[in-house]
Chains A and B, each alone.
Chain A
Amino acid sequence: MQNNKANRSIKPIYLDYQATTPTDPRVVNAMLPFFSESFGNPHSVDHAYGWEAEEVVDQARQQIADVIGADPREIIFTSGATESNNLAIKGLAHFLRDNPKGPPRNRVITTTIEHKCVLESVNRLEREDFDVIKLPVDAMGLVDMEALSEVVTEETALVSIMAVNNEIGVIQNLSRIGEICKAAGAKFHTDAAQAVGKIPLDVNKMQIDLMSISGHKIYGPKGIGALYVRRRPRIRLEPLIDGGGQERGFRSGTLATPLCVGLGAAAQYANEEMFDEYDRLSSLSRRFQEGLKAGMQGVSFNGDPEQRIPGNLNVTFEGVFGAELMKSIPGLALSMGSACTSADLDPSYVLKALGLNENQALSSLRIGLGRFTKEHEIDQAIDLLITAVEKLRSTPHGL
């Protein structure tokens, strides 16, 4: 027995919760029945198989709505946050362009630190002659509210600002952004993929018109997400996917019942456990930071120390290439930043937006903690990082 244990390769510690989260076993269990007994097409109205599927999909809609203070009728299922962001941004801009009411609203505002799918959607609008403004952030990663109020005008169609950044975990001031948008009659979209179930969100209090939600960032399955679309006053979008007219015409295609159920269950668990989990992760995160600071010189943490989710740390290890550091610790699953751009060796545009220089950006790693992270894993990670950094710094070909 002892021998077996010793020979078994040790599974690396997963510290990349912003890239994707493990699907919670409770979520998997909630999904499984809908692959077998209840496999109906929720749009089949001709038989009981379809009715049952429709019922559980609507229950999932309710569970998601509950997390963000919305009405279930305001939840549109999509294939993920990328689709939600594309639909919100391009869908709103194109609808307003093609159905002008009152003075034209041609301006779209976002920030330089958004997820790639937001930036690419906005870039597409720019090529279509929308007036696009990408606001910078300060050294802490926060959008300046003064600067935002200055550019949000009566000509502004949409402001798209993420709730929580995927690389540095910084939380933007959503309530204030909502107020600014409201005052100018601009619509407010927020990519909340990294925020839902982690911090309290309320679409009404925060005056949010559109909110993107992801399944696999909240311990749900991949391939499912949602877009909150305000009903009062009604937000209208040009759909990206046409067809059978499902999801109130916003998004055609057969709904994936098990995935919808999975997202619903994931949302509910995240909501129920949000505050306990917040406290637990805060203490793990503190432990991590203190452990690193105590064990080495030249370590700094990126992003606002207060306005952040506890499950994220973005750490600069002075004089060490992040890529080499990762390679030297196969026992830790970490990342240089967004998973989508993992293959690039370019420094993170988010860190550069904070004012880090190229070397500093390349010396930084993202550490993501989450629901299944244990204290002893943190301690192990600290030890591994300290040893590896020391070793890399003592080799001559460092930075």
Chain B
Amino acid sequence: MTQFFPPPPGSYKIDFGGMDLLRSRDCVCLVKGETFEVAVDPALAKGGWPGGQGVQWVDATSDAFTVAYSSGSFGGFLLWGSNESSDQYTAMTGQQLTYGYAVMVAGRGLISTSSYEQYTLASRTGPGPLVPLVYGANDLLYFSLRGLWSKEQEAPNLLSSGVVAQVPKAVNEFFLGVQFTL
């Protein structure tokens, strides 16, 4: 790998070699969108979710704005997972599940997340071997049928939810960079 620091002798130029991102969460936020506090439906509350989970609106019997797992539509995505390792042994351990709420993100911004589909829908649901999805910069992204970011349009005729800003690779701990357009 190219050495960026220290600069060559006699040079006053420091070539900035990139950020050192601490990816200790499912969803690392680099540019924030708009955030909403939403109620989660019983399926979400029971099943839990990772940070970056896509969600869609669902009608509720109470006067609360409620979301469920996305099946291709959005809403937005949930900023924090329901039981992330970084939240253990703190005051907020499990509190989203306990109180039935989550923080949803919409609008425009940039994240790095581990919540994306790694294999094609056909190979995930068929009997054959798993076929990896290969992400490229600028690929359009959609929410999969279970609400994870995917380059496959698993639910037809639904809008894209973002584009690939950074592909998963060893130097980013195989997180997917997403410029979201929700």
Instruction: Indicate whether A and B interact.
Output: no
